[in-house]
Amino acid sequence: MRKFYKVTVGMAAATLLVGGLAACSTSTESSSNDETSPSASEEADPTPLASIPALDGVDTQVTLDAGFVEALTSLNLTPGVTGTATLDAATGTLAFPITGGNVDYYDPELDYRPYVQGEIDHMGSGITLTGGDTVVGLSDFKIDPGTSRLTGTVTANGEEVGTDVFIFNLDGTTLNPLAEDADGNAVLEGTTVLVSSDAAALLNETFGTDAVTDELVVGIAKITAKAAE
């Protein structure tokens, strides 16, 4: 069983956590290299520098890219939201409440990868893409900071297609410096969200097109994180 280094759960821990996310949420290629590094197995169960066992809000927002909106329009697809998700039509911003998760941050100087591990959960919210009589739902998102991937549940006309489907890539090379909002929450903004190859293939097959491409830019993400007290 892993031994956890206990830290005070507060802004100091959140700052270290999200700073780690910023460093680790790089492009898919670099994440893959970290996962497959031979040195990853040499350091068995190291002690994390910081551990936040429970996240408690607030949300992940995605401001949609104009190119993505144009792609949806060309395919006659209409976006919508489900559950607790919201869509601000004026700004083109989607918001998904953070419902839980946990993150461990390890010393990046050690040969242990990925050095940020855990997940950020967004249960009970999602988006829909409607084309004619077909409605595709993407929901219950989970962000894995160690692999820079977002997975979730996919449905078609209400029928479950799959769970833990790889939906979006998260490219953190465009991140802004760590910030803090008026409530003391850690804010990480600037990650580029891209359609995964799995999602592109699924959407193309479902809607009978080849216009949805791998690595199509969806938008820019803003994660506002709060540690549970």
DSSP for the chain, please give it: -PPPPP---SHHHHHHHHHHHHHH---HHHHHHHHH-GGGGTS-SPPPSEEE--EEEEEEEEEEPHHHHHHHHHTT-EEEEEET-EEETTTTEEEEE--EEEEEE--TTSS-S-SEEEEEEEEEEEEEEEETTEEEEEEEEEEETTTTEEEEEEEETTEEEEEEEEEEEEEGGGPPPPEE-TTS-EEEEEEEEEE-HHHHHHHHHHHT-S---TT-EEEEEEEEEEE--
Residue 16: give the domain boundaries.
11-227
Does any domain span residue 3?
Answer: no
Whether residue 97 is preceded by a cis peptide bond, meaning omega within 30 degrees of 0, is: no
Does any domain span residue 208?
Answer: yes
CA distance 229 to 226: 9
Does any domain span residue 1?
Answer: no
Buried b (16+ CB within 10 A) or exposed e, 119-138: bbbbbebbbbbebeeebbbb
Does any domain span residue 92?
Answer: yes
Q: What is the pLDDT of residues 43-52, one digit of tens each?
A: 578 998 878 8
Sign of torsion over alpha carbons 183, 184, 185, 189: positive
Q: What is the pLDDT of residues 116-166, one digit of tens each?
A: 889 999 999 999 999 999 999 999 999 998 899 999 999 999 999 999 999
Report the domain count for the chain. Answer: 1
Q: What is the pTM of this model?
A: 0.81
**CA-wise closest residue to 167 among 132, 133, 185, 142:** 142
- The percentage of the chain sitting over the pLDDT mark of 70, rounded to a whole number, equals 81
CA distance 41 to 60: 32
Sign of torsion over alpha carbons 28, 33, 39, 40: positive
Does any domain span residue 162?
Answer: yes
Does any domain span residue 6?
Answer: no
Does any domain span residue 116?
Answer: yes
Residue 20: its pLDDT value, please?
A: 47
Does any domain span residue 112?
Answer: yes
Residue 32: its pLDDT value, please?
A: 43
CA distance 173 to 152: 23
Residue 28, pLDDT > 50, answer: no
